[in-house]
Amino acid sequence: MQVHNKHIIVTGGASGLGGACAALFQSHGANVTVFDQKPEAEVEAKRGQLYKQVDITKEAEVAEALLEAEETNGDLYGLVNCAGIGSAKKVLSSKGPHDLETFQKVIEVNLVGTFNMLRLAAEKMKSHEPEETGERGVIINTASIAAYDGQIGQAAYSASKGGIASLTLPAARELATAGIRVVAVAPGVFETPLFASVPEEARQQLEALTPFPKRLGDPQEFAELALHIFQNTMMNGETIRLDGAIRMP
Ligand SMILES: NC(=O)C1=CN([C@@H]2O[C@H](COP(=O)(O)OP(=O)(O)OC[C@H]3O[C@@H](n4cnc5c(N)ncnc54)[C@H](O)[C@@H]3O)[C@@H](O)[C@H]2O)C=CC1
Ligand SMILES: C[C@]12CCC(=O)C=C1CC[C@@H]1[C@@H]2[C@@H](O)C[C@@]2(C)[C@H]1CC[C@]2(O)C(=O)C=O
């Protein structure tokens, strides 16, 4: 599916990987709507896209924002789920067991929020006329290599990303009859505000552990894969690692 003149929603589009997707899709002629929890006034890079302050975990908020976004930007043909949060807490530390509140929050935003967007966006996409090819749209989810090689302190984050990787195939199978593809990307370590809190020493270790290229990923490289997923109709039901071959210890 070509993105030109297509309405595509990017969650987490105020920052990092989502921001790069929103900019690249817009430069290819898409009508981009950004859903992000940040107030619009606090978002530095203004790109002239339609912006909705939305918490992806809130059913009514998302439903209302979807309605408004379609009124302005037209029928929905794409969703790129990038909104997410990190966490670093051990299952059991000297302070005691991992608190349930943090675990639940990470699952709620990363997994439940992604699913909430997927199901409500799919309903909209299914209601529209398909392309000549039978396609009605594409949904991209953002997992993480932490779904497979989660490090110490990453139980909550890895569980949330494992859930995203696991739901991608059944969602693709179910939505296939509507001509909607579902693909996940599992990025390695990317240079974004989410990663900024990682100490310099850990960052250098992760770079050194990346076979090639020996550096953090550039959000533009993530956006280019997302664009290719839209354009390549055979891509469906898979979680694609984008990680310079790193396997985190
Ligand atoms: N940066 C990295 O190394 C990697 C990031 N990822 C994943 O990629 C995605 C994007 O991450 P980054 O761009 O690095 O992070 P980021 O922190 O730069 O951007 C995430 C955006 O999501 C938004 N957001 C968070 N909770 C939200 C909610 N409840 N509703 C709406 N918006 C919400 C934030 O406001 C922010 O603008 C996340 O799902 C993250 O887990 C995965 C692997 C590696
Ligand atoms: C666990 C890491 C690395 C070590 C450290 O000092 C702090 C961390 C907390 C954030 C984690 C770090 C690393 O595991 C890579 C991830 C999981 C990072 C959050 C996002 C992250 O870059 C990712 O999703 C990679 O796939």
CATH number at residue 141: 3.40.50.720
**Residue 157 a catalytic site member:** yes
Burial state string for 192-223 with b = 16 or more CB within 10 A and e = fewer than 16:
beebeeeeeeeeeebeebbeeeeebbebebbb
Distance 109 CA to ligand 1 centre (A): 10
Domain with 59 in it: 7-242
> Whose alpha carbon is nearest atom 17 of ligand 2?
146
228 in a structural domain: yes
> Whose alpha carbon is nearest atom 14 of ligand 2?
151
Q: What is the mean pLDDT of residues 202-215?
A: 96
248 in a structural domain: no
Catalytic residue among 51, 77, 148, 157: 157
46 in a structural domain: yes
Task: Report how many helices (DSSP H) and strands (DSSP E) the chain contains, helices first.
Answer: 7, 9
249 in a structural domain: no
- Looking at residue 82, its amino acid is C
- 114 close to 146: Cβ distance less than 8 angstroms: no
Instruction: Tell me what pLDDT residue 46 has.
Output: 66
Q: Is residue 152 packed enough to be buried (19+ CB in 10 Å), middle (13-18) or exposed (0-12)?
A: exposed
**Integer Cα distance of 211 and 171 in angstroms:** 33
Examine the predicted complex and report whether its ipTM is higher than 0.90: yes
Ligand 1 neighbours, Cβ below 6 Å, are 11-12, 14-18, 36-38, 54-57, 82-85, 109-110, 113, 142, 144, 187, 189-190, 192-195
Distance 228 CA to ligand 2 centre (A): 26
103 in a structural domain: yes
Residue 110: pLDDT over 90: yes
45 in a structural domain: yes
Residue 133: pLDDT over 90: yes
Note if the pTM is more than 0.95. yes
Q: How many domains does the chain have?
A: 1
102 in a structural domain: yes
- Shortest-distance ligand to the CA of residue 14: 1
Closest ligand 2 atom to Cα of 190: 22
Structure confidence by residue, pLDDT tens digits, 96-107: 999 999 999 999
1 in a structural domain: no
